[in-house]
Amino acid sequence: MVVLVTGESGSGTLLLAATPLGDARDASPRLTEALATADLIAAEDTRRVRALAGSLRVTPAGRVLSYYDAVEESRQPTLLEALRGGSTVLLVTDAGMPSVSDPGYRLVAACASEGLPVSCLPGPSAVTTALALSGLPSDRFCFEGFPPRKPGPRRRWLAGLVAEQRTAVFFEAPHRIADTLDDAVTVLGSRRRAAVCRELTKTYEQVRRGELGELAEWARDGVRGEITVVLAGAETAAPEDPAELVAQVEQRAASGMRLKDAVAEIAEMGGVRKKDLYDAVLAARG
């Protein structure tokens, strides 16, 4: 049974509901009931939520409204008005928990600022599922969303994980995973352990574990499906002595990167001053 929480003014409740990653049998009984009884369903993909409801043999009684990235801002007033009027609004995304790299965060924040009740119907999450399957330490971890799409910002983003000692989890698109893993090898080294999890809970589920160099080579043949990457934490903090980073600067310079840019990138990765690293490079060159 879905238990609704109402405010003193008789306002409705926003229900955040986790949806199956692939197998409809992972849907919770509470999600099934909410799909059948909510006054309004805000869905990232209306076709998918109707297909899910069909698989669960329920017919939504309320209106089904699209709620994806491009319309998130414009739809928010409609949803807030419904909640103020006492309606139960069910928010679902294509898979997993709303607001976790999916639409929902802004609506929850708006409800919180107005004191409108928000509840959650917990369930599947690609983040914790991949973490559990990875075989990597799970006592401390961080979630990093999606990497930047362009190579430069993506390498700088990876640089922020050089000294991260927690296991890191992030999503990536199938057409970018090979480039991202290649960049990870460049920035983090080929020996850092990781796991690439694809099509979780689906027919062709696969978990590929190994060192970044091995995974990057495997991904060059092409990887399909929904992908979650789990990256082992750094065993030690990044070196503080600029002299220890000179080789990495020279490697980038040899590949065609301007010395100034190479120094800036490696200095950020290593947590040292750019001037100190530049001086160390010049000293090493004699």
| Count of structural domains, the chain | 3
**69 and 88 housed in the same domain:** yes
Round the average pLDDT of the chain to a whole number and report it.
92
**20 and 51 housed in the same domain:** yes
DSSP 206-261: EEEEEEHHHHHHHHTT---S-EEEEEPPPSSPPP--GGGGHHHHHHHHHTT--HHH
In a domain, 113, yes or no: yes
Of 231, 254, 275, the domain-final residue: 231
Res 184 pLDDT > 50: yes
**Where does the pLDDT of residue 211 fall: very low under 50, low under 70, confident under 90, or very high at 90 and above?**
very high
CB atoms within 10 A of CB 93: 25
In a domain, 112, yes or no: yes
**118 and 21 housed in the same domain:** yes
Q: Can you give the residue range of the structural domain that contains 63?
A: 14-124
The residue among 121, 124, 169, 156 whose CA lies nearest residue 25 is 124
Q: What is the CATH number of the domain that holds 173?
A: 3.30.950.10
Of 65, 95, 124, the domain-final residue: 124
**Selected residue with higher pLDDT from 29 and 285:** 29
**112 and 206 housed in the same domain:** no
**143 and 114 housed in the same domain:** no
In a domain, 31, yes or no: yes
In a domain, 225, yes or no: yes
In a domain, 30, yes or no: yes
- In this predicted model, what pLDDT tens digit does every residue of 12-39 receive, in sequence order? 999 999 999 999 999 999 999 999 999 9
- In this predicted model, what pLDDT tens digit does every residue of 218-248 receive, in sequence order? 999 999 999 999 999 998 655 567 888 888 8
Of 207, 231, 255, the domain-final residue: 231
Sheet of strand 227-231, all strands in order from the earlier edge strand to the far edge:
141-143, 167-172, 227-231, 193-198, 206-211
**160 and 96 housed in the same domain:** no
- % of the chain residues with pLDDT over 70: 95
In a domain, 237, yes or no: no
**216 and 258 housed in the same domain:** no
Q: What is the predicted pLDDT for the residue at 240?
A: 63
In a domain, 2, yes or no: no
Q: What is the predicted pLDDT for the residue at 214?
A: 97
3-state secondary structure at position 54: helix
